Amino acid sequence: MLEKIRRFVIEHGLFSPGEKVIVGVSGGPDSLCLLHILCRLRADLDLKLHVAHLNHKIRGLAAEEDAAFVEKVAKEWGIPCTIEARDVPALAREKSMSLEEAARYARYKFLAEVAIREEAKTIAVGHNADDQVETVVMHWVRGSGLAGLRGMLPRSRLIVGGEEYDLWLVRPLLEISRAEIEAYCREHGLTPRFDLSNLDTTYFRNRLRHELIPYLETFNPRFREVVRRSARLFADDYDFLRRQVEACWHEVVECEEEKGIVFSLSRWLTLHPAMQRGTIREAISRMRRGLRDIGWEHVERARKAVLERRAGVKVTLPQGLVLATGYGIFFIGEEGFAPHEDLPLITEEIALAIPGQTRITESGWKAEASIAPLSQLPNSWDANPDPWQAFLDWRKIKAPVKLRPRQPGDRFKPLGLKGGTKSLHEFMIDEKIPQYLRDKWPILVDREKILWVVGYHISEEALVTPETEEVLIVRVHKDFPS
């Protein structure tokens, strides 16, 4: 078994020669076996070991005896040791966590603190092959994707409570079964402590261990082996997908800022659904690097929102993130993040030259205006497929004509509204104009009224009719026409 673990350590690059390793030791069979193995390998691998043990204050006197046992073993084996206690039940109440979640949080927070204090970069823990099976089954029951179904990795970054540390968490026993570990302890005269809470099936993981997995083994006696093999395959598949996401990242991402990541909608829509999910997951991971277990439901709800291909759709994501759709883009970012968009956005009033061209300097767009007799318009003018062009009855307009952003209390009569007026605010909501764009959206007005919400509806009060003599044609565009 020693040689098997040594090969595993080398294959996965778990340690660097000469480094200090913090070994998490509870006193149970797994961690005691791990410590004994690392003691035997430390000369060969050139390691400095430091034991860390946390009393969770859940099991009273038994927990104190565990701490004393670990301290005694570390002293006998000549290994420096840090032992501390944390009130996990109080932490669970304070953070509204389950006891399991609070214990995990406290344990890894403690290990991180010890590593930082001891200037170590690696923490070794005793997770074994059976723990791997339980982890994969737990993620499967909870509906995880590939990231969860690959189980625990031999080496991964330490993440605690959403915070990612510059520390490595390594699992040298990940391919060693619990039975092998118990046999090793007997062979070497090790007398580990036994935690009776491991038998308590009110804990979710214990129910998996003692009830669900044995039941599944009645269908396939090799169930554990099958799950471990599947986890390795899922890990390879996940790694391949991550590489594909990285390869296409700069093709589909228009800009990546501290507060948000902006995607090109047209390019993103060409991706396979697996890649669409992968890019959304990657964006969430980049914005929240310590976030664990990004739920499939969040990713899929976000993906389906983008597939609607409508501006103004918004989806709430974990830890204060949102996904919002715009015009030809969508973004994932902090609440309030407003990406730059290639649109004729304005913040000040601009008088329109009629006829002529008027530069919208702050956005690099232009407005072109001309007046023509109704009789000279092409037959298909009223079909007008261009949302950036409007035809207005010149006689109904009171000069001067201007472009401006919205103002408090703005109301107008959008085309088709037969009675009264509608607030511009309500109109923008109904038309799904993204909230972050509304204060800069261009509005065409005359001296008395709104004529056109650019890109959307004209006003019923400027509608061209058969009685119209002259038509004001306004076109907003990026460049002068050739």
Q: What is the pLDDT of residues 254-299, one digit of tens each?
A: 888 889 999 999 999 999 999 999 999 999 988 887 666 577 788 9
Enclosing domain of residue 374: 350-477
User: Quick one: tokens of 284?
Assistant: 């969430």
* Residue ending a domain, choose from 334, 359, 394: 334
pTM above 0.75, yes or no: no
Q: Is the pLDDT of residue 205 over 90?
A: no
Helix (H) or strand (E) holding 148: helix 146-149
Q: Is the pLDDT of residue 318 over 70?
A: yes
Identify whether 358 is part of a domain: yes
Q: What is the pLDDT of residues 141-196, one digit of tens each?
A: 887 788 889 999 999 999 888 788 999 999 999 999 999 999 999 999 999 998 77
Q: Is the pLDDT of residue 468 over 90?
A: yes
What SS3 state is found at 461?
Answer: helix
Q: What is the pLDDT of residues 216-260, one digit of tens each?
A: 999 999 999 999 999 999 999 999 999 999 999 999 998 888 899
Strands 314-316 and 321-325: antiparallel
Q: How far is 134 from 48, CA to CA, in rounded Å?
A: 31
Average pLDDT score over residue span 376-403: 89
**What's the pLDDT at 481?**
45
Do 32 and 153 lie in one domain? The reply is yes
Helix (H) or strand (E) holding 7: helix 2-11
Please report, for the domain that includes residue 397, its CATH number. 3.50.40.10
Report whether 192 contacts 32 (CB < 8 A).
Answer: yes
Do 267 and 203 lie in one domain? The reply is no
Average pLDDT score over residue span 384-401: 91
Q: DSSP readout, 332-356?
A: EEETT-----SS---SS-EEPPSSE
Q: What is the pLDDT of residues 102-125, one digit of tens each?
A: 999 999 999 999 999 999 999 999
Do 59 and 166 lie in one domain? The reply is yes
Q: How far is 311 from 400, CA to CA, in rounded Å?
A: 32
Q: What percent of the chain has pLDDT over 70?
A: 98
Do 313 and 368 lie in one domain? The reply is no
The full length of the chain comes to 482
User: Quick one: tokens of 57?
Assistant: 């204050």
Higher model confidence: residue 460 or residue 327? 460
Identify whether 237 is part of a domain: no
Mean pLDDT of the chain: 91
- Name the pLDDT band for 362 (thresholds 50, 70, 90): confident
